[in-house]
């Protein structure tokens, strides 16, 4: 049994004629981050400090228990899932495609408390099932997934990874997952960080030669009024989703999709991590997360204020958002700019019907933090169509259309 910390703080089929690209439609659903601004008890105040990542928040929520009374709906902070099938005949599952972890797990029919509305894998119903039985535990920011390994055929769209080992969860990592619209997680990080040394699905697809190129890419539709969530493309990327060409960053450490970032700049203002820092592209995280000092400084310079009673959650006055500067992420000498529209999350508070303009820059104050890592989540990946190139070990960014 091994542990792994995953950032997983978030997360698509049709066939294309050329180059055997497999398209998996991504569906989006409202954020899991049910927030509690305006509540009163000390515990709830404590919870308010942890807007940073939905799973992290939810862990604390689990530890504490008790109802979340002031849910916020969040129009920008969306999650994206797609459908896979496991076994013969196929059993369907909705999974988050997470580049910040490397295992596949789905709830097991043997799980008690996994949320009966979730699809649960029943190995007795599959003729291609092969038992394994090794126990597994994956530590997420919100809690642990526990279960055991099994092997079966896993289909993503029209392509199948045969004899794929995955985890049957007998315990889900926190209420977030129990309540989530998706059933499980499909990790798309490197095999190097796969718990129990299980080969990742993507590596299996490449090895079994069912995709032409060892490349996948994500397009996230950020239009909140459009029901199409986006697309995961296996085997390449689709020029219809981006302008210009990709700028590639070499993967510096295989595990997450990690690379070096030159700096972060506020246009017309300060520069952060001036000597470079490490960053990851993580479809499993909604926001942009970074080292505490830098994130605080960015929020202050942009004029975001701490939300009352919070130590880590910043918000803008909504009428000032239009005049906020661009924030640039300098990668390989090229600036990737986010506008305020990209990095401010407009959140409506149901009870009072007031809008809150949350900052998309989040402190990562988790005890699970490994080093001063920047996490470029969906706020960034939505603006920049991202290609994950396993063959050349590089990540490519191009402006999404």
Query: Which residues are part of the catalytic machinery?
Result: 98, 282
Q: How far is it, in rounded angstroms, from Cα 71 to Cα 181?
A: 17
- Return the number of the residue (86 or 264) whose C-beta is nearest ligand NAG: 86
- Return the number of the residue (229 or 290) whose C-beta is nearest ligand NAG: 229
Tokens of 356: 């809150």
Residue 240 CA to its chain's centroid (Å): 23
Min CB(268)–ligand NAG separation in Å: 27
Min CB(311)–ligand NAG separation in Å: 36
Q: How far apart are the first and last CA of the chain?
A: 43
Min CB(1)–ligand NAG separation in Å: 12
- Return the number of the residue (12 or 56) whose C-beta is nearest ligand NAG: 12
- Return the number of the residue (221 or 258) whose C-beta is nearest ligand NAG: 221
Min CB(373)–ligand NAG separation in Å: 27
Q: How far is it, in rounded angstroms, from Cα 318 to Cα 354?
A: 10
Chain contacts with ligand NAG (rule: CB under 6 A) = 109, 122, 124-125, 132, 134, 149, 162-163, 165, 196-198, 208, 223, 225-226
Long-range own/partner contacts, residues 35-44 (CB < 8 A, 24 or more apart): 35/68, 35/70, 35/71, 35/72, 35/74, 35/347, 36/68, 36/69, 36/70, 36/71, 37/70, 37/72, 37/307, 37/349, 37/356, 38/70, 38/349, 38/351, 38/352, 39/69, 39/70, 44/69
Could you give phi then psi for residue 281, rounded to 5 degrees? -100, 115
Q: Which one-letter DSSP state was computed for residue 200?
A: P
Q: How far is it, in rounded angstroms, from Cα 41 to Cα 46?
A: 9
Min CB(128)–ligand NAG separation in Å: 8
- Return the number of the residue (117 or 350) whose C-beta is nearest ligand NAG: 117
Per-position b or e across 248-272, b if 16+ CB within 10 A of its CB: bbebeeebbbbbbbbbbbbeeeeeb
């Amino acid at each position: 049994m091994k542990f792994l910390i995953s950032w997983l703080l978030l997360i698509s089929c049709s066939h294309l004629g050329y180059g055997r690209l497999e398209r998996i439609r991504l569906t989006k659903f409202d954020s899991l981050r049910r927030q509690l601004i305006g509540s009163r008890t000390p515990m709830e105040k404590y919870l308010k400090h942890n807007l940073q990542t939905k799973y992290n928040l939810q862990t604390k929520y689990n530890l504490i228990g008790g109802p979340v009374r002031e849910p916020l709906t969040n129009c920008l902070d969306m999650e994206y899932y797609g459908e896979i099938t496991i076994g013969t005949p196929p059993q369907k599952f909705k999974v988050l495609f997470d580049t910040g972890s490397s295992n596949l797990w789905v709830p097991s029919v043997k799980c008690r408390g996994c949320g009966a509305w979730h699809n649960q894998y029943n190995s007795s119903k599959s003729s291609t099932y092969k038992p394994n039985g090794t126990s597994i535990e994956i530590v997420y920011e919100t809690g642990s997934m526990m279960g055991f390994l099994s092997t079966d055929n896993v289909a993503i769209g029209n392509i199948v990874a045969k004899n794929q080992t995955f985890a049957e969860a007998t315990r889900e990592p926190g209420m977030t997952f129990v309540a989530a619209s998706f059933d499980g997680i499909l990790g798309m990080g490197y095999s190097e960080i796969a718990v129990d040394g299980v080969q990742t699905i993507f590596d299996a697809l490449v090895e079994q030669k069912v995709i032409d190129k060892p490349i996948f890419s994500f397009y996230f539709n950020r239009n909140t009024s459009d029901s199409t969530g986006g697309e995961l493309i296996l085997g390449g990327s689709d020029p219809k989703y981006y302008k210009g060409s990709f700028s590639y960053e070499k993967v510096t450490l295989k595990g997450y999709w990690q690379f070096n970032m030159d700096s972060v700049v506020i246009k017309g203002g300060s520069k952060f991590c001036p000597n470079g820092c490490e960053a990851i592209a993580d479809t499993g995280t909604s926001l942009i997360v970074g080292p505490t000092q830098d994130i605080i400084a960015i929020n202050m310079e942009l004029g975001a204020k701490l939300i009352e009673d919070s130590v880590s959650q910043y918000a803008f006055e909504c009428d000032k958002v239009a005049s906020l500067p661009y924030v640039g992420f300098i990668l390989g000498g090229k600036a990737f700019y986010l506008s305020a529209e990209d990095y401010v999350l407009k959140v409506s508070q149901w009870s009072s019907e007031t809008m809150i303009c949350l900052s998309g820059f989040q402190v990562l104050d988790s005890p699970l933090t490994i080093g001063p890592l920047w996490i470029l989540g969906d706020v960034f990946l939505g603006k920049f169509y991202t290609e994950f190139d396993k063959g050349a070990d590089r990540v490519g960014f191009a402006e999404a259309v």
